[in-house]
Amino acid sequence: MPRPEKISIGVLFGRPNFILQESLGEISELIIDSMDGKILDLELFTEFEMRPSTHLRLRSADSIKYLHIDASNVIYTRDHYDKAHTADWNELKSEFVSIWNLIKKTKKINEVRRIGVVAEYKISCPNNDQSSVLMDKVTKLGIQDGNKKFQLAYETHYPLDKTDTSSTENQEFINVIHQIYDGLIDGHHSEDGYIHVLLDVQHYYAPVSQSSKVIDEVTKLYKVFSEHESELKEQLKKLGLINDE
């Protein structure tokens, strides 16, 4: 399985967190003060965009690290597309933990409805013919003249309690999102000659989970994510999109 080019941790609140939204300036100042080489790297973020009572976006100088905060979400990302090395989970989680602990120092954080771990991968495709390769290997349609912009997306829901046969809408469940598509149609990293693959594993809480448990829940969710990543690897091998290495 290729190592991920991009990994994100996302936290969705159970209801809009307006108190947190009103504290974006305070959060920004706290993060800046904490870039001391002990709590956060000295230059973790160098670009700051804040729209009062709307959102806060921070980015590193090399455009690898992103933080987004608004009334509904906290999302932290490591984006290594076009970089010499791929994204690393341990680095991402360590930075997220430090940032989350700083956010908690400002205002009360609302309960959490969903936590997600998302990773993106890319697979080299010879002859810049990725849509035709996907049409041939992923579908029964076969290669057709002028294949372009292939994309496949689907979700799988399953309850945490396998003995509960009621709808997943009424209970705690895992949502697994798969996307396989022509790299040319990637909204952020369009590139010819590559197949892009996205794996998004989300834990939905019913009832909502306490924000104090977020770090532990992220750790547990990554274990679930790793299991689905292994399954994805086997699926891609069976399709002939990656080899056994």
What are the tens digits of pLDDT across the range 207-230?
Answer: 999 999 999 999 999 999 999 999
Region at 30 (left for phi over 0; alpha for psi -120 to 50; beta for the rest) = alpha
Return d(Cα 113, Cα 6) in angstroms, integer: 23
Question: What is the pLDDT at residue 168?
Answer: 61
Band (pLDDT 50/70/90 cuts) for residue 171 is confident
Question: What is the pLDDT at residue 145?
Answer: 84
The separation between the first and the last C-alpha atoms of the chain, rounded to the nearest angstrom, is: 8
Beta-bridge mates of residue 174: 158, 203
Return d(Cα 222, Cα 111) in angstroms, integer: 20
78 or 86, greater pLDDT: 78
Give residue 32's identity as a one-letter amino acid code: I
DSSP label at 107? Answer: S
Question: What is the pLDDT at residue 170?
Answer: 64
| Residue range 79-108: mean pLDDT, rounded | 92
Q: Count CB-CB contacts under 10 A for residue 181.
A: 19
Give residue 40's identity as a one-letter amino acid code: L
The length of the chain, given as a count of residues: 245
Question: What is the pLDDT at residue 151?
Answer: 97
What are the tens digits of pLDDT across the range 29-81?
Answer: 999 999 999 999 998 999 999 887 799 999 999 999 999 999 999 999 999 99
What are the tens digits of pLDDT across the range 98-126?
Answer: 999 999 988 789 999 999 999 999 999 98
Question: What is the pLDDT at residue 212?
Answer: 93
Helices 24-34 + 89-104 axis angle, to 10: 120
Question: What is the pLDDT at residue 162?
Answer: 65
| Residue range 132-161: mean pLDDT, rounded | 91
Alpha-carbon distances, residue 233 vs 4, 79, 123, 151, 171 (angstroms): 12, 21, 12, 18, 29
Question: What is the pLDDT at residue 245?
Answer: 59
pTM reported for the whole predicted model: 0.93
Question: What is the pLDDT at residue 82?
Answer: 87
Contacts (Cβ under 8 Å, ≥6 apart) of 173: 157, 158, 159, 160, 204, 206
Beta-bridge mates of residue 181: 151, 196
